[in-house]
Structure 1
């Protein structure tokens, strides 16, 4: 009876008050400013290509190529960044990344020449390459046990809240006929980076992500040795496919299908992204309560089925173009897809960090980041090729089959990871 009660108590830990009370002081500092930090990014994220093309007058092809520098540089930097995090600690590397972000946003605010914009976007890409593994390693060093999965989920909801609110504010504020409005939002994005920098230099200055050197311990392996572990390899493939099917379609495949096939207005697409943010913010705590103590690989299966359903809904919207039903279908797609996101984001980062040790946590999170970015780069390419050829049904079919592939990979992963990394309560956590 004691054991069952322990599991039940564990499963009910998720409420805003109990979650906040369970966090260590450093965790509260990290979480309390997430939405404010990301609000600046939300101000600029949807409008950067509009700024480059319509305000600065760069042709659309060049503007797209410039935008791709963020992802390309981020992918290049991620690997070395993970190694540096393990060697020098996440805090120092994050401060370097934030300095690059501040410089990049400031340059972009006044970029009247493509070369200046390119330098600014490269610097932003440097920050993107180190921020994911850096902050995930920092979180894992501060938050332990089941609370870690919950933290990743809540953090994801707050990131979406900040970006969503920032996007709404930016949409009302910026004006292509007033270049100074774009200058302001990029400067605000730069200033918002001072908040995490202040945390890292102040309340979080004592947090260590790297372990104390032990000269008697065997040397820690590099990326090749980590990727040779079957659990890491299967998890990385799963992450790549999830990003290819999911986030890789959000900025390219989904808007293109909604416009060209379902023939909905740009306003409907904008509302769809708002629906995405609202669903994540409203449902994340409920989802966390439901999945606590459940096998994370089984949660991924549910997520795969939810995403498959969302793509089928979008496919149905394409069968009724330029109609109210199509608009409802596009909005419904994004709502159902967002529900799947609330299942994905708490689980995958938690598995990576539960598999890692303090000696190699930066590299584990860098592998996670690289798989994410690789899928986010490959997804739009595949979408463009299929939709450009008019293969609308094939595009939806590829997305649905890919979702089922995520489920298959989850089953393969379950056989290869320890129960503790799969979210199964251990005897110690149950008795506690």
Structure 2
């Protein structure tokens, strides 16, 4: 690997460029659709916002089990195939958005297709990343794919902004067509690529899903991570409401702050992974928990900050919050991948993605309930939950094998105990 790439934390990518292109195209399609995922149905089909919101929520909940089913399919048929199928399913859903969404039941069916495909993608792609990476670069690969996905999402979101400004149904249809094309291209390209070298024989994948339920260490670790997932999701969910209604700050701040979040992920993720490699993964997660406690504490104290300092203060809090995510994201995925038996890796990683799905379903109700009591309560609650979870992970550390809790470069550098 080139020296500068290694020093900056980039993984070895030779021979995997086709897979990276797939990740970018997929993220571009997601980025194009996310900004107007609700407005599209209002502008083009004339549905009311309550009907749209209820239909999409039901579709989201109904597709939750898709993640767990995908884990089994990945272990049997391979992550490359299942990732490609997920993208083709999403392409079919977007084509349905384009031509068939004239009634609420049809909107539900197509939304369920898109959501199920998205869940399949995240459940399968985690194992695909493991199969693409070498054993000592797992953390780097998870960080790298996360960064390039943010690039695609950012570009897609930027382009979608121009369409939102027009409020023209024809442009909305054009954008949906481009989304469908992106997913179709990504899926077809992935089917044409060879199996990664790390792909194991599918005859090995015979173990039952119930074996995960007997892995008490994994289940305890998974439960400990729920608070971290809620903390990540809380930023995008609560910041617009909290900033504009509770703090009475300018309405442009939430969008700009979330843009800062994406820029930091794109620009700093690989360097953060490189700097944390000599340290144990469990310690890195513990540090991330501490940083999240700091950022949530800053958000909770924001109402007492003078108005002349509030903008800088909020951007600082978002930057600190993002730093915790940079520390946590690649580390936890790599730890779970190394913790899981190879014949169950797809199911282990899918179970972690299932936890994300549960948290995503809970976060709107959790935020609104706590916010109704007092606007700062969501942040105060997160401080307590994240602190307990951080201590729990450190308590579990001694039960992990060295190759699981060890740093991302465990085969090349000594661990710091």
Same fold (TM over 0.5): yes
1:281 CA displacement: 1.2
Determine whether 1:50 maps to 2:39.
yes
Once structures 1 and 2 are overlaid, which stretch shifts more, 93-102 or 296-305?
Answer: 93-102
Q: Deviations over 1:319-351 (max 9, x none)?
A: 358x44333333333222111111111111101
For 1:254, the equivalent position in structure 2 comes to: 239
1:76 CA displacement: 1.6
TM-score relative to the length of structure 2: 0.90
For 1:384, the equivalent position in structure 2 comes to: 368
Determine whether 1:401 maps to 2:384.
yes
1:34-45 matches, within 5 Å, as: 34-45=23-34
Unaligned runs of 5+ in 1: 1-8
Identify which of 298, 308, 330 aligns with 2:293: 308
Name the CA distance, whole Å, in 2 between partners of 1:191 and 1:121: 17
1:55 CA displacement: 4.7
For 1:99, the equivalent position in structure 2 comes to: 88
2:300 and 2:377 in contact (8 A); partners too: no
1:306 and 1:340 in contact (8 A); partners too: yes
Count of residue pairs brought into register by the alignment: 412
1:134 CA displacement: 0.9
For 1:280, the equivalent position in structure 2 comes to: 265
Name the CA distance, whole Å, in 2 between partners of 1:293 and 1:176: 50
Name the CA distance, whole Å, in 2 between partners of 1:269 and 1:394: 19
Identify which of 10, 18, 28 aligns with 1:19: 10
Name the CA distance, whole Å, in 1 between partners of 2:351 and 2:52: 29
For 1:225, the equivalent position in structure 2 comes to: 211
1:69 CA displacement: 4.2
Unaligned runs of 5+ in 2: none
Q: Deviations over 1:329-386 (max 9, x none)?
A: 3333322211111111111110111122331111011111101111122122110111
Once structures 1 and 2 are overlaid, which stretch shifts more, 170-179 or 235-244?
Answer: 170-179
2:79 and 2:127 in contact (8 A); partners too: yes
Q: Deviations over 1:54-81 (max 9, x none)?
A: 5533222222222324532442211111
Determine whether 1:295 maps to 2:287.
no
1:242 and 1:403 in contact (8 A); partners too: yes
Once structures 1 and 2 are overlaid, which stretch shifts more, 77-86 or 44-53?
Answer: 44-53
Name the CA distance, whole Å, in 1 between partners of 2:323 and 2:15: 30
Name the CA distance, whole Å, in 2 between partners of 1:68 and 1:309: 32
Distance 1:195 1:205, change over 3 A: farther
Name the CA distance, whole Å, in 2 between partners of 1:427 and 1:398: 36
Distance 1:415 1:223, change over 3 A: farther
1:419 CA displacement: 1.1
1:132 and 1:369 in contact (8 A); partners too: yes
Runs of 4+ with deviation above 6 angstroms:
none
For 2:66, the equivalent position in structure 1 comes to: 77
Partner SS, residue 360 of structure 1: helix
Determine whether 1:365 maps to 2:355.
no
1:45 CA displacement: 0.6
1:105-116 matches, within 5 Å, as: 105-110=94-99, 111-116=101-106
1:430 CA displacement: 4.7
1:317 and 1:327 in contact (8 A); partners too: no
Q: Deviations over 1:250-296 (max 9, x none)?
A: 34222222222112333211111111111111111220111113111
Identify which of 52, 59, 79 aligns with 1:90: 79
Name the CA distance, whole Å, in 2 between partners of 1:198 and 1:40: 14
Determine whether 1:145 maps to 2:128.
no
1:104 CA displacement: 0.9
1:268 and 1:327 in contact (8 A); partners too: yes
Determine whether 1:242 maps to 2:234.
no
Q: Deviations over 1:120-178 (max 9, x none)?
A: 11001111221112111111122122211101011111111211221122112334631
